[in-house]
Amino acid sequence: MNKITIIGTGYVGLVQGVVLSEFGMDVTCVDVDEQKIQKLAKGISLVYEPGLQSLLEKNLQERRIHFTTNINEAVRTGRIIFIAVGTPPKEDGTADLQYVLQVADSIAKYIDSYKVIVNKSTVPVGTGQLVRDTIAEKIQERSASVEFDVVSNPEFLREGNAVKDCLQPDRVVIGADSQRAIDLMKQVYDVLYINQTPFVITNIKTAELIKYAANAYLAVKISYINEMALLAEKVGADINIVAKAMGMDGRISPKFLHAGPGYGGSCFPKDTNAIVRIAREHGEELMVVEAAIAANQKQKQKSAQKIITTISETVDLSEAVVAVWGLSFKPETDDMRDAPSIEIIRALVLKGIRIRAYCPQGMAEAQWRLLEQAEAITYCTDEYDAVDDADALVVVTEWNQFRGADLEKVKRLMRNSYLFDLRNVYKRHIAKNIGFYYYGTGR
């Protein structure tokens, strides 16, 4: 059996490691953070993801997954080494590759036999060659002679569905220039290969571009339906029915046609900006993707402005209290990166509005991301605590428990009756019959 080493125990690295161990692989996960490694070794997941905790405990018990800070040993013993560290955006929108290249340096320092080095991190086109050159140069400096291959194997994980996406992916993309490396990667994903999961075998640069192209397209689709939602509000149409009818067209599909306050998270904002920068560096302008980025920013601003303008008609904003349900950028995750809630709350607070916020998983991260607004925000124990004596309720993230909320109880607890359903969770006629002033998105 080929031993697997995964360097980086963040969101992607941990999920990938746990699922590969579930596939029967012998997996060692490496990180420089000693405290994180100690907790993971005890079965304590630091990432909130449905199903991850139980799989982690199971595979620790069966000794198929191990955690260490000893990168020397992990590199020497691993036949396939995944690089799964962060590539955060720089100020100019390009991906910061410093952590990827630090890992490449470490691999080059300790590599002593043939390895397959796998870029799992989302990286710009050309990074595979950069990693290859970095490792080769360092090996040469050691006066050593070691063979290795570099592979691009992008992840397509949806936060909140990442474990399922790893266990049952739509496709596996392998970018490699060596048949030897391709054969070893097929062994890694043997369970999926046997189950006839589609495999896309291509060169490294194509695999690197596939990841950005997919995320940019989905971002375009979201921004498109959000712009249609703005038009629907102006002309008196219902965006839910528009989207449903559009989705019936097999060329379009209903996925990612859900109007809302804009996209966020770790992928779409970062990857759309990155691919725009990559294009500019090669003398091209991605006008459609750039428009999607601008439209997404506009959607967040429009959502905030609708709330402010509406409640200001009857409530003094300096005395207004707004309840916010959902802080994470989507349900079933604690990720607040570029979440629409951040910009909406900042805009409301700037107008003197006080916030009562609740999210099943996002509040810990929200407290430091919204530190400058801390004095104006009260973090509540549940959704009903949040609406107590509030003038308006804003549903930003569509967690399932909000879908089943007792709206009559909510109405009784509130001081005023504004309901801004930014995710179109509730039926308008039901909310209005209860007594809410209901405002959806594109309805």
- Provide the token pair at 101: 């290249």
Task: Let me know if residue 353 belongs to a domain.
Answer: yes
11 and 150, same structural domain? yes
Contacts of 333 (CB under 8 A, 6+ apart): 48, 49, 159, 160, 265, 361, 362
- Residue 209 has a pLDDT of 96
Residue 305 has pLDDT above 80, yes or no: yes
User: Quick one: pLDDT band at residue 3, thresholds 50, 70, 90?
Assistant: very high
CATH number (domain holding residue 371) = 3.40.50.720
Q: What percent of the chain has pLDDT over 90?
A: 93
pTM: 0.91
Q: Enumerate the β-bridge partners of residue 439.
A: 420
- Residue 225 has a pLDDT of 97
- Provide the token pair at 424: 């179109």
- Residue 47 has a pLDDT of 85
- Residue 313 has a pLDDT of 95
Scanning 179-203, the segments in alpha helix (DSSP H) are: 179-188, 190-194
| Domain endpoint, select from 185, 202, 219 | 202
Averaged pLDDT, 256-268: 93
Scanning 176-318, the segments in alpha helix (DSSP H) are: 179-188, 190-194, 204-235, 239-247, 268-281, 287-311
Task: Let me know if residue 255 belongs to a domain.
Answer: no
In terms of Cβ atoms closer than 10 Å to its own Cβ (0-12, 13-18, 19+), residue 195 is exposed
Averaged pLDDT, 335-359: 97
Give the type of residue at 381: T
Contacts of 428 (CB under 8 A, 6+ apart): 438, 440, 443
> What is residue 317's DSSP assignment?
G
What are the tens digits of pLDDT across the range 97-114? 999 999 999 999 999 999
Catalytic residue among 29, 267, 359, 380: 267
Q: How many residues does this entry show for the chain? A: 443
196 and 310, same structural domain? no
Instruction: Count Cα neighbours of 367 within 13 Å in the Cβ-side half-sphere.
Output: 8
Alpha-carbon distances, residue 238 vs 105, 223, 259, 418 (angstroms): 55, 17, 11, 20
- Provide the token pair at 357: 């916020």
Task: Let me know if residue 233 belongs to a domain.
Answer: no
Task: Let me know if residue 223 belongs to a domain.
Answer: no
Alpha-carbon span 289 to 5, nearest angstrom: 35
| Domain endpoint, select from 150, 171, 202 | 202
Task: Let me know if residue 211 belongs to a domain.
Answer: no
330 and 188, same structural domain? no
Task: Let me know if residue 399 belongs to a domain.
Answer: yes
The count of structural domains within the chain is: 2
- Residue 210 has a pLDDT of 97
315 and 180, same structural domain? no
> What is residue 28's DSSP assignment?
E
Q: H or E element: which one contains 438?
A: strand 437-440
What are the tens digits of pLDDT across the range 307-324? 999 999 999 999 999 999
User: Quick one: pLDDT band at residue 92, thresholds 50, 70, 90?
Assistant: confident
| Domain endpoint, select from 181, 202, 223 | 202
What are the tens digits of pLDDT across the range 174-196? 999 999 999 999 999 999 988 89
267 is catalytic: yes
- Residue 90 has a pLDDT of 85
Averaged pLDDT, 206-212: 96
> What is residue 95's DSSP assignment?
B
Q: H or E element: which one contains 402?
A: helix 400-403
Residue 414 has pLDDT above 90, yes or no: yes
Q: Which strands sit side by side in the sheet containing 321-325, from one edge to the other?
A: 377-379, 354-358, 321-325, 392-395, 418-421, 437-440
Q: Report how many helices (DSSP H) and strands (DSSP E) the chain contains, helices first.
A: 19, 14
Residue 384 CA to its chain's centroid (Å): 28
165 and 17, same structural domain? yes
User: Quick one: pLDDT band at residue 326, thresholds 50, 70, 90?
Assistant: very high
Angle between helix axes 287-311 and 204-235 (nearest 10 degrees) is 40
> What is residue 154's DSSP assignment?
-
**Residue span of the structural domain in which 386 resides:** 293-440
Task: Let me know if residue 218 belongs to a domain.
Answer: no
- Residue 1 has a pLDDT of 67
168 and 27, same structural domain? yes
166 and 19, same structural domain? yes
Averaged pLDDT, 135-158: 94
Averaged pLDDT, 393-412: 97
Alpha-carbon span 70 to 339, nearest angstrom: 35
Task: Let me know if residue 227 belongs to a domain.
Answer: no
302 and 432, same structural domain? yes
What is the average pLDDT score of the chain?
95
- Residue 237 has a pLDDT of 96
